[in-house]
Amino acid sequence: PRPCAAMKRTREEVDATLQVAKLNAAELLPAVHCLAFGPGANGAAAGDICLLELEPALCQQLEVGHSLVIRGDKDEQAVICSKDKTYDLKIAETSNMLLFIPGCKTSDQLKAEETHSNIIHAEIFGFSNNYWELKRCRPKLKKLKKRLMENTYEGPDSQKEKDSNRSKYTTEDLLDQIQASEEEIMTQLQVLNACEIGGYWRILEFDYEMKLLNHVTQLVDSESWSFSKVPLNTCLQELGPLEPEEMIEHCLKCYGKKYIDEGEVYFELSADKICRATAQMLLQNAVKFNLAEFQDVWQQSVPEGMITRLEQLKGLALVDRHTRPEIIFLLKVDDLPEDTQERFNSLFSLREKWTEEDIAPYIQDLCGEKQTIGALLTKYSRSSMQNGVKVYNSRRPIS
């Protein structure tokens, strides 16, 4: 309707319209909204305003003053992030025209107000045939490691540290470039054993990390300490002349759990983490390793008292028991594709058939909320029995 016509509409005209439409006025609320397109409606329809559909929890976050941030480069599918979650952001088309009407009251509001039989004139500010909808997704963290691996930290005396042109990233830089929420990024930085040096996030070069760990384990051995009670202050005093104190403490945090006993700070070192790192050191320079020989060398390489087990290598190394002799080789889950289909393609190109026990560590991180490994395998693979054992292979040909 034209604005002038709508503003002049009377109750009698409304009732007449209801009769033509064969609607019973008694079954409707007494209040009537008469709509008119305002002068800015066409501009709003041209894309000045976007509609965003939010779940109640996200609405509540906005209402208390929190922000939602859209992240992504030009070549990436946009995501929107809250403080702790990431969502895919996609346009949803609708066959119904959606009208923007400032101050418009819903039927529930009109019921609550016990409005009498009157006419409410409302101006349409704009309209749209689509809206943005959100779908919870896994954070896209592959780029985080890629960025930090561009310039790993090899120690304060490294020649690399004298080159000011090498890439470095602050927290703000990472928030600007990584498609994940702040909480998810900070959690992943811990998983990567990254540390903040001079205001920039850095990943330690693995050889340098192992050098620090070796200093700590040798000190524990020479002082006859228990690995469950390593004193921080003594470590810093003894190893401070060899390496920066913050690096020693960072190493203890990576491989241990901090606690306080009688006012003193101690670390309980994790045998599993130390054994795993030692295995990575042994495997990284070998394409394939005789399993039996590896297990002997591995056990001899870890600190006395620690017991090595293949279970410690889930998501780091893969054992092939179909070869003679049996072999083991490095296969790190964080080196595999981030996309689910691409991950399965990569795994099935490496090995045609997998048991659930072998493949689980390499797809566990792909599981979304309330999703199981079994559900992923059902969707992306085909199962069969081989010598009484259930195995999984690709649903599609792998080139």
**Per-residue model confidence as pLDDT tens digits over 251-284:** 999 999 999 999 999 999 999 999 999 999 999 9
Q: Is the peptide bond before 325 cis (omega within 30 degrees of 0)?
A: yes
Largest CA-CA distance found in the chain, in angstroms, rounded: 98
Lowest mean pLDDT among 63-72, 124-133, 215-224, 281-290: 124-133
pLDDT higher than 50, residue 379: yes
- Which pLDDT does position 42 carry in this prediction? 62
Q: Tell me if 331 is assigned to some domain.
A: no
Strand, coil or helix: 27: helix
- Note the pLDDT tens digit of each residue in 285-329: 888 999 999 999 999 999 999 999 999 999 999 999 989 999 999
194 and 219 in a single domain? The answer is no
Q: Tell me if 335 is assigned to some domain.
A: no
155 and 131 in a single domain? The answer is no
Task: Please state, in angstroms and as integers, the Cα–Cα distance from residue 390 to each residue in 224, 353, 357, 373, 382, following that order.
Answer: 48, 10, 10, 14, 10
216 and 254 in a single domain? The answer is yes
Distance CA(172)–CA(176), nearest Å, equals: 6
15 and 127 in a single domain? The answer is yes
121 and 188 in a single domain? The answer is no
pLDDT bin (cut points 50, 70, 90) of residue 96 is confident
Q: Tell me if 363 is assigned to some domain.
A: no
Sequence-ordered alpha helix ranges (H) in the chain: 3-7, 11-20, 41-43, 56-63, 107-113, 142-148, 171-177, 182-191, 206-223, 232-239, 245-255, 271-283, 291-301, 340-350, 356-363, 373-380
61 and 170 in a single domain? The answer is no
Q: Tell me if 313 is assigned to some domain.
A: no
- Which pLDDT does position 43 carry in this prediction? 55
* Residues 189-194, mean pLDDT to the nearest whole number: 95
Sign for the pseudo-dihedral over CA of 218, 223, 228, 230: negative
* Residues 85-106, mean pLDDT to the nearest whole number: 87
- Note the pLDDT tens digit of each residue in 124-160: 888 888 889 999 999 999 999 999 999 999 998 888 8
Q: Tell me if 52 is assigned to some domain.
A: yes
129 and 151 in a single domain? The answer is no
What φ, ψ does residue 318 adopt, rounded to 5°?
-125, 135
pLDDT bin (cut points 50, 70, 90) of residue 383 is very high
85 and 149 in a single domain? The answer is no
- Which pLDDT does position 220 carry in this prediction? 96
pLDDT bin (cut points 50, 70, 90) of residue 1 is very low
Among 178, 203, 228, the domain boundary falls at 203
Does the global pTM surpass 0.85? no
- Percent of the chain at pLDDT > 70 equals 95
- Domain count of the fold of the chain: 3
User: Residue 370: CB partners within 8 Å, gap ≥ 6?
Assistant: none
**DSSP assigned state of 203:** P
pLDDT bin (cut points 50, 70, 90) of residue 8 is low
Torsion-angle region of 312 (φ positive above 0: left; ψ -120 to 50: alpha; else: beta) = alpha
Identify the residue with better confidence: 368 or 365: 365
pLDDT higher than 60, residue 6: no
Q: Tell me if 382 is assigned to some domain.
A: no
* Residues 210-216, mean pLDDT to the nearest whole number: 97
87 and 176 in a single domain? The answer is no
Lowest mean pLDDT among 43-52, 154-163, 210-219: 43-52
Residue-wise DSSP of 75-107: TS--EEE-SS-EEEEEEEEEEEEEEE-TTPPPH
Among 203, 232, 256, the domain boundary falls at 203
Among 177, 203, 229, the domain boundary falls at 203
> Which residue bears the tokens 């890439």?
167
Q: Residue 10 is encoded by which pair of tokens?
A: 């009377």
183 and 212 in a single domain? The answer is no
Q: Tell me if 224 is assigned to some domain.
A: yes
Q: Tell me if 306 is assigned to some domain.
A: no
Burial (0-12, 13-18, 19+ Cβ within 10 Å), 95 = exposed
Distance CA(331)–CA(314), nearest Å, equals: 9
Are the beta carbons of 342 and 299 closer than 8 angstroms? Answer: no
Of residues 118, 76, 125, the one with CA closest to residue 101: 125
67 and 103 in a single domain? The answer is yes
127 and 87 in a single domain? The answer is yes
Q: Which domain holds residue 231?
A: 206-269
